[in-house]
A and B are shown apart, each in its own frame.
Chain A
Amino acid sequence: EVQLVESGGGLVQPGGSLRLSCAASGFTFSSYEMNWVRQAPGKGLEWVSYISSSGSTIYYADSVKGRFTISRDNAKNSLYLQMNSLRAEDTAVYYCATVNSGSYYDYYYYYMDVWGKGTTVTVSS
Chain B
Amino acid sequence: SSELTQDPAVSVALGQTVRITCQGDSLRSYYASWYQQKPGQAPVLVIYGKNNRPSGIPDRFSGSSSGNTASLTITGAQAEDEADYYCNSRDSSGNLWVFGGGTKLTVL
CB distance from A106 to the nearest CB of B (A): 8
Mask for B88-108, Cβ within 8 A of A = 1, else 0? 111000011111111000000
Mask for A14-57, Cβ within 8 A of B = 1, else 0? 00000000000000000000010100000011110010000000
Task: Answer whether A113 and B45 are a contact pair too, CB < 8 Å, given A44-B99, A47-B96, A47-B98.
Answer: yes
Interface residue? A116 (CB, 8 A): yes
> Among A95, A107, A115, A116, which residue has its beta carbon within 8 angstroms of that of B30?
A107
CB distance from B74 to the nearest CB of A (A): 18
CB distance from A60 to the nearest CB of B (A): 9
In the complex the two chains form, what is the Cα distance from A116 to B43 in whole Å? 9
Which label, helix, strand, loop or mixed, suits the secondary structure of the A interface?
strand
CB distance from A67 to the nearest CB of B (A): 16
Residues of chain B contacted by A110 (CB below 8 angstroms): 30, 33, 89-90, 97
Task: Answer whether A104 and B31 are a contact pair too, CB < 8 Å, given A95-B42, A109-B48, A111-B49.
Answer: yes
In the complex the two chains form, what is the Cα distance from A54 to B15 in whole Å? 46
> Among B50, B95, B100, which residue has its beta carbon within 8 angstroms of that of A59?
B95
Interface residue? B44 (CB, 8 A): yes
In the complex the two chains form, what is the Cα distance from A34 to B51 in whole Å? 22
Residues of chain A contacted by B84 (CB below 8 angstroms): 44
> Among B35, B49, B50, B54, which residue has its beta carbon within 8 angstroms of that of A45?
B35
Given contacts A111-B88, A113-B45, 19 further A-B contacts (CB under 8 A): A35-B97, A37-B99, A44-B100, A45-B37, A45-B43, A47-B88, A47-B97, A47-B99, A61-B96, A100-B48, A104-B49, A107-B65, A109-B30, A109-B31, A109-B33, A111-B45, A112-B45, A115-B42, A116-B42
